[in-house]
Amino acid sequence: MNNIVVIGAGPAGTGCAYELAKGGYPSLVIEKAEVAGGLCRTLNFNGYLFDIGGHRFLSYSQEVNALWRQILREDLLRVKRLSRIYYRKKYFNYPLNFLNTFWNLGPLESAACIGSYLKCKYSRPGDDSTFEGWVINRFGDRLFNIFFKSYTQKVWDLECQDISSDWARQRISGLSLRVALQKALLGIKGDSPKTLCEEFLYPQAGPGQFCGRLQKTVSDLGGIFKFNSRVIGIRHDDKRIHSVIIESRLDGKREEIPADYLFSSMPLPTFIKSLLPLPPQEVIKASGKLGFRSFIVVNIILDKEHIFPDQWLYIHSPEVKLSRIQNYKNWSAGMVDDSKKTSLGLEYFCNEADSLWMMNDVDLVDFALGELEKIGIISRRHLINAFVVRAADAYPVYALDYLRNIEIVRSYLRRFPNFQAMGRAGLFRYCNSDYALLTGIYSAKNLLGYEAVDIWADAMSNQASSYHSA
């Protein structure tokens, strides 16, 4: 097989290309950005390193852990985790502990939360098919309103009753706040899930360090990367994929590349719209209902040595749009050029073409600084420099009908024996970088003739959540 094409050089695509090259089948990797990594790339701005969101290296997969260590070696740091929730102008430890939670909520509110939890646990007043109903049935309405509602609506721009409970099952069941709140407020014992682990691994120079080194390893094994290239068409005969049409983001030149086999981590709806000829209307309509949230990070450098000790803060306060703050020097000292300064990533979830997405960079920085001042984190007088990163199609939205629409699309794509989808966007599955990497590796193994894995079925199962790295 001479012409193997991989769309996307994020964790899934680069992992796929690595496994293929290692097995003696180098591929051509097409990437619209100028570097590998996708959402896991690390940006250098005036000597300061910024992630696109924080990316802990934490996985149940021994294969992923081994690859991280193989590629990064001594540059893979062990970091003691510290993160908190900001709500009602107070900081809640995360994972929560009883004294901190009791003190911040107060005895009356704490007692009311326990009463609400017990009442809803037995009466189960919520609709278990929705995020809101699922959480209320297991946490109570008061805890839902404090620790779930405002943050979830910031992330998805949907009412919680319009989000599938699959989101809760994947990200909460056995994880994060449920276990933490039970321990904090009710004294229930149990093992902490992986997302509440006290330590994690992290590359000295950010996750882009891993992606860059993995890319070099692939290139050394014969793989080719074509950056700044956008896929605009995928030719097929309704039985097999035959070629991929790309357009240079630099000069607009187009090129058609033969494809004996195609792997794709591009957003699933975009892939469907790129097919030539187009699929039946039913498939196009279903894919059009699979929406993504986009992501903005306002990155700032501040002339202040200490701001807060956490790696990140969750901002649950409904009075600001800000969702999360990364403090990069607390991830790794190598992320800052001057230890006397601090670099922060201010994270916003949005939709393409909404007012936040369309705001110019200067106004976005001003807006974000105003929100930081509103919640008392920092004053704008400490600002040294800033820049903005926009990431489209970052988070698949679990609307109530998303599974039905995925199955329509997947049923159509089964007709192509020389195609596999992989990664978060390609599978329309909110998985983190370790599992995305694993989908790429196993997709390649499927082609190489190793033990077959149904990547899509595995991604849709609850087992996929066992790989989540936060």
More confident residue, 169 or 36: 36
Please compute the mean of the pLDDT values over residues 421-443 and round it to a whole number: 94
235 pLDDT more than 50: yes
**95 band by pLDDT with thresholds 50, 70 and 90:** low
**462 band by pLDDT with thresholds 50, 70 and 90:** very low
Q: What is the pLDDT of residue 203?
A: 97
Q: What is the mean pLDDT of the chain?
A: 90
Q: What is the pLDDT of residue 100?
A: 80
Q: What is the pLDDT of residue 428?
A: 96
Please compute the mean of the pLDDT values over residues 65-92 and round it to a whole number: 92
Q: For the chain, what percent of residues have pLDDT higher than 90? A: 74
469 pLDDT more than 70: no
177 pLDDT more than 50: no
- 94-98, 128-132, 350-354: lowest mean pLDDT where? 94-98
369 pLDDT more than 70: yes
pTM listed for this prediction:
0.91
Q: What is the pLDDT of residue 159?
A: 93
Q: For the chain, what percent of residues have pLDDT higher than 70? A: 91
**190 band by pLDDT with thresholds 50, 70 and 90:** low
Please compute the mean of the pLDDT values over residues 335-350 and round it to a whole number: 97
Contact between 301 and 384 under an 8 Å Cβ cutoff? The reply is yes
48 pLDDT more than 90: yes
**150 band by pLDDT with thresholds 50, 70 and 90:** confident
- 228-232, 260-264, 297-301, 455-459: lowest mean pLDDT where? 455-459
Comparing CA positions, the residue from 53, 35, 23, 60 lying closest to residue 435 is: 60
Please compute the mean of the pLDDT values over residues 79-91 and round it to a whole number: 89
**404 band by pLDDT with thresholds 50, 70 and 90:** very high
